[in-house]
Amino acid sequence: MGGALFMRHGGEMSGAFLAVDWGTSNRRVYRIEDARVVATERDDRGASRVARSDYPTEIAAIRARLGDLPMLLAGMVGSTIGWRTAPYAAVPADLSTIATTLDRIDERTAIVPGVAQHGERADVMRGEEVQLLGAVAAGLVPADALLCQPGTHCKWARIERGAIVDFETAMTGEIFALLRKHSILAPELTGEIVDGPAFRAGVTEGARRELASSLFRIRARGITGAAQPDAAAFASGLLIGADAAVRIGGSPIHVLAESPLGDLYLSAITILGGQAMLIDSEAAFVAGISKLWEYAQ
Amino acid sequence: MGGALFMRHGGEMSGAFLAVDWGTSNRRVYRIEDARVVATERDDRGASRVARSDYPTEIAAIRARLGDLPMLLAGMVGSTIGWRTAPYAAVPADLSTIATTLDRIDERTAIVPGVAQHGERADVMRGEEVQLLGAVAAGLVPADALLCQPGTHCKWARIERGAIVDFETAMTGEIFALLRKHSILAPELTGEIVDGPAFRAGVTEGARRELASSLFRIRARGITGAAQPDAAAFASGLLIGADAAVRIGGSPIHVLAESPLGDLYLSAITILGGQAMLIDSEAAFVAGISKLWEYAQ
């Protein structure tokens, strides 16, 4: 194959490729030409909804819709629930090291490896690395920064000189979903989650990190008729507050997320005395995957 | 009705009654004569499995089996999922104040009220009050003590001069059950929970109270092939350690539970530098309900 991972085909536009941010539940596809998005689509064909054997068909269908171009696939497509298990790049990991470990399906299709941390602080990510390192590549965050990606499994990553050097995953979103769906509190956690007094009270209480007791108080308040802030927003605040409280130090925190989740994290970090700013996660992904594409040539 | 809540019927043995510790999933029935258990049975006809309209039939069946005697019912039978909602006695609550607020179904049948704490630290219990105060009545714990009742909703109660003055409920057992049944960790949390190195490592880690991240590390260790302590025992240790860590102060902790759960709490408290002892929870219940029966005459 020589040095280039993707062979040029006759008639292909130089620098044009398709990128897929393939999550567990959803996926987002981009047609990128010279680091600019010229077409995009989003659907719910996440890795949890695509059978292993259906990936060739899915890939062909994407090419039929968005162009018969080389493809870079990031995220859960490379996990045990995806097409095939791609390797992990070990920390410290930057975009150039990740580009050298692309998992090539064929000469025009490759999966981006995840990033792993080994030993005592074992941790893994798949897909987030493109956004995290892309944020630096795009100049949206400095080359030394603390980044946060809220979600089902919230990632907190420290970047030094443009490389992920340390990260930690918190099951914040998943625990909230479990409580909302299956716990004794489920009937009380139906409200909308907005950044109001209930959420803020939850954040402050959550910073005490006595989650199991703070949560039961939601039920006890209901039973005893005590003044009850909106329970869903309060519970969300509890979990985000507990998660954020241990991250706040000297560094400002760059939150990679869309609204409204990103705004809730911003608010929680600010309430707890930290400094936070919201970063465009889509722009970060596009910058990261474009840089990987460039390195892979 | 005069002062006596239970009228004597011709031929009834003085001091003989039936007591039911009616939990959510299980119930335990005792025939008690002069504060001694002379017959007992245990089954899975907890409040969650008995329809509201079926209680008279259940009560008649218990009397047919264990004797046609007055009955005192404690626990979830008096909750919204039980026969009918009995009131709560407010803290500070001792056995004599609880005896004055029995919820009388008829002249031979009464429900023991729960105990509630109002305001900022709102909390509720139903059934646990009989064990807690019974432990004091039986001389199993001093009249000023810190008590712990592990379970789905773990109770931590401070008793002063034989009265519950302050308590807090932690959803420790419920959160563990949610993780085991519904979370991404479920496939890894199938092992038996024993007080071994994995449980102890969990307790120490749990005391840091970064639950959402400590839990994800179980998955990350599995994926990266890091040395993995038994995951179920480790996770149990995490939750119990996080719960116990904030309770340890000057007072020894009296744990009201059966093995093996009681032993796990004992171990966790000891690892975290506290002093703990296991109290016979059944003896405590019998002493508490007998004292209530005596007060109700």
Burial of A225 (0-12, 13-18, 19+ CB in 10 A): exposed
Which of B123, B215, B224 is closest, CB to CB, to A118? B224
Residue-level pLDDT at B3: 42
Name the residue type at position B48.
S
Distance in angstroms (rounded) separating the CA atoms of residues B130 and B136: 10
Place of tokens 């646990």: B128
Inter-chain contact B174–A184, Cβ cutoff 8 Å? yes
Concatenate the DSSP letters of all residues of B27-87 into one string: EEEEEEETTEEEEEEEES--GGGS-GGGHHHHHHHHHHHH-S--EEEEEGGGSTTSSS---
Identify which of B238, B197, B196, B195 has the alpha carbon closest to the alpha carbon of residue B217.
B238
> Is residue A113's pLDDT more than 80?
yes
Q: Mean pLDDT over all residues of chain A?
A: 93
Concatenate the DSSP letters of all residues of B234-277 into one string: HHHHHHHHHHHHTT-SSS-EEEE--TTHHHHHHHHHHHTT--EE
Burial of B7 (0-12, 13-18, 19+ CB in 10 A): exposed
Which of A174, A215, A224 is closest, CB to CB, to B118? A224
> Is residue A8's pLDDT more than 80?
no
User: Chain A: which residues have CB within 8 Å of chain B?
Assistant: 88, 116-119, 121-124, 153-154, 168-172, 174-175, 178-179, 181-184, 209-213, 215-217, 219-221, 223-224, 226, 239, 242-243, 246
**What are phi and psi for residue B235, nearest 5 degrees?**
-65, -40
Q: Where are the alpha helices (DSSP H) in chain A?
A: 55-66, 95-100, 128-137, 172-182, 197-206, 211-224, 231-245, 261-271, 281-296
The predicted-structure confidence for A124-174, as pLDDT tens digits, reads as follows 999 999 999 999 999 999 999 999 999 999 999 999 999 999 999 999 999
Question: Which of B171, B172, B189, B265 to mutate to probe the A interface, most A CBs <10 Å?
Answer: B171
The predicted-structure confidence for A38-69, as pLDDT tens digits, reads as follows 999 999 999 999 999 999 999 999 999 999 99
Q: Region A233-249: what's the mean pLDDT?
A: 96
Residue-level pLDDT at A228: 74
Residues of B whose CB is below 8 A from A123? 216-217, 220, 224
> Is residue A1's pLDDT more than 50?
no
Residue A144: CB partners within 8 Å, gap ≥ 6? A159, A160, A161
Q: What is the per-residue burial (b if ≥16 Cβ within 10 Å, else e) of B153-171?
A: bbbbbbbeebbbeebbbbb
Longest alpha-carbon distance in chain B: 74
> Is residue A6's pLDDT more than 80?
no
Residue-level pLDDT at B14: 60
Sheet holding A109-111, edge to edge: A36-43, A27-33, A16-22, A71-75, A109-111, A103-106
Residue-level pLDDT at B226: 81
| DSSP tag of B93 | B
Residue of B nearest to A245 (CA): B210
Q: Region A62-86: what's the mean pLDDT?
A: 96
| DSSP tag of B208 | T
Q: Region A82-88: what's the mean pLDDT?
A: 95
Q: Region A270-288: what's the mean pLDDT?
A: 97
* Confidence at A200, pLDDT banded by 50, 70, 90: very high
Residues of B whose CB is below 8 A from A217? 121-123, 169
Residue-level pLDDT at B225: 86
Distance between A122 CA and the closest CA of chain B, angstroms: 6
Which regions of chain B are under pLDDT 50?
A: 1-3, 9-13
* Cβ-contact A156, A167 below 8 angstroms: yes
Which of A172, A212, A226 is closest, CB to CB, to B212? A172
Identify which of A123, A120, A140, A121 has the alpha carbon closest to the alpha carbon of residue A132.
A140
| DSSP tag of B224 | H
Question: What does each C-alpha distance from B181 to B44, B99, B276 come to in angstroms?
Answer: 21, 40, 30
Greater confidence (A8 vs B136) lies with B136
* Confidence at A225, pLDDT banded by 50, 70, 90: confident
Residue-level pLDDT at B10: 44
Name the residue type at position A184.
I
> With helix as H, strand as E and coil as C, how does A60-126 read?
HHHHHHHCCCCEEEEEHHHCCCCCCCCCEEECCECHHHHHHCCEEEECCEEECCEEEECHHHCEEEC
* Confidence at A103, pLDDT banded by 50, 70, 90: very high
Cβ contacts from A onto B, under 8 A: 128
Residue-level pLDDT at B6: 60
Question: Which of B180, B189, B224 to mutate to probe the A interface, most A CBs <10 Å?
Answer: B224
Residue-level pLDDT at A5: 53
Name the residue type at position B128.
E
Residue-level pLDDT at B12: 46
Please, which contacts does A1-8 make with residues 24 or more away whose CB atoms are closer than 8 Å? A1/A107, A4/A296, A4/A297, A5/A102, A5/A104, A5/A110, A5/A296, A5/A297, A6/A70, A6/A107, A6/A108, A6/A110, A6/A296, A6/A297, A7/A107, A7/A108
Distance between A267 CA and the closest CA of chain B, angstroms: 20
Which of A88, A117, A216 is closest, CB to CB, to B171? A216
